[in-house]
Structure 1
Amino acid sequence: MDLKFTVSGRIAKPVHEVFEAVADPQKLSGYFTTGGAKGRLESGAVVSWDFHDFPGAFPVEVVEVMPDEKIVLKWDADDGRKTLVTMAFSGLDDGRTLVQITEEGWRETPEGLKASYGNCEGWTGMLCALKVYVEHGINLREGFYK
């Protein structure tokens, strides 16, 4: 069994605006990293993300960034290895942006499966929060975890 998932959503804004809402740490901190993000997502960088629901800032390795197209990250999984996260941004004919997030690399164990489910939930929440933030300027996660 390959422990891998993809979640996706459509944001009613142009690709560049949606991409920047993820790549820019100030914007990312406005709706996702409830404890703050430090460092812009650029190829080769190691940035820091902190969440109130998962306290303690932790490093995120930025493997590859193709502006307005793709962001590839590595971060520690609960089972001691690193998972690979790929975010793809595609402009749609109607002016919206399709965002697809795929994460893979967990051990094929009950613990790995549980960790993958947790991250699937987290990325789904991130997409919902991204949509509301970019389209309406609302931080959906404000007060949700604390």
Structure 2
Amino acid sequence: MDLKFKVTGRIAKPVHEVFEAVADPAQLSRYFTTGGAKGRLETGTIVTWSFHDFAGAFPVEVAEVVPDQKIVLRWAAHEGAPSDGDAGAKSAGYQTTVTMEFEALDDGRTLVTISEEGWRETQGGLKASYGNCHGWTQALCSLKAYLEHGINLRDGMYK
């Protein structure tokens, strides 16, 4: 079994505005990275993302950026969460790949597709893939609420 997933959502904003809300660390920190984001998403950089619901900051390798179209990230596979009793959600020693695609729709909205793949076919990999699918679905909902209504859905949710 190939452990991977894809989630999608439509956001009622132009593609450039949606893309910038992800690529710009100041905006990303307002609705997704509850502990803050450092570094703009640009090809070849390593940025850090921090979340109140996980200990420490995560390094995120930016593999590819095509402005207003695609962002490809690599980060450590974490096969457990602190809430599951895994102290610090330790890295499993390999990376997964996250691909975000942005498509301008004829009605002025943007279709955002986020996929992640690369987990090992283990019970830990399966559990981690489900956790990240949940997280990226929530990220899309948070992005929509932030851009369309100025609301931070994650504010106070985890801490």
Superimposed CA distance per residue, residues 1-38 of structure 1 (whole angstroms, 9 cap, x where no aligned partner): 10010000000000000000000000000000000000
After TM superposition, the score normalised by the length of structure 1 is 0.99
- Pairing 1:6–2:6 present: yes
Which SS does the other structure have where 2:146 is aligned?
helix
Q: Cα offset for 1:80?
A: 2.1
Q: Tell me which amino acid in the other structure corresponds to 2:93.
A: G
- Pairing 1:94–2:88 present: no
Unaligned runs of 5+ in 1: none
Q: Tell me which amino acid in the other structure corresponds to 1:59.
A: P
Give 1:117's match in structure 2, choosing from 130, 133, 150.
Answer: 130
| Partner of residue 49, structure 1 | 49
Unaligned runs of 5+ in 2: 79-91
After TM superposition, the score normalised by the length of structure 2 is 0.91
The 5-angstrom pairing of residues 42-81 of structure 1 reads 42-78=42-78, 79-81=92-94
Superimposed CA distance per residue, residues 51-99 of structure 1 (whole angstroms, 9 cap, x where no aligned partner): 0011210100000000000000000002321000000000001100000
- Distance in 2 of aligned mates of 1:101 and 1:28: 15
Which SS does the other structure have where 2:148 is aligned?
helix
Q: Cα offset for 1:40?
A: 0.1
Q: Which moved more, 1:19-28 or 1:49-58?
A: 49-58
Q: Tell me which amino acid in the other structure corresponds to 1:30.
A: R
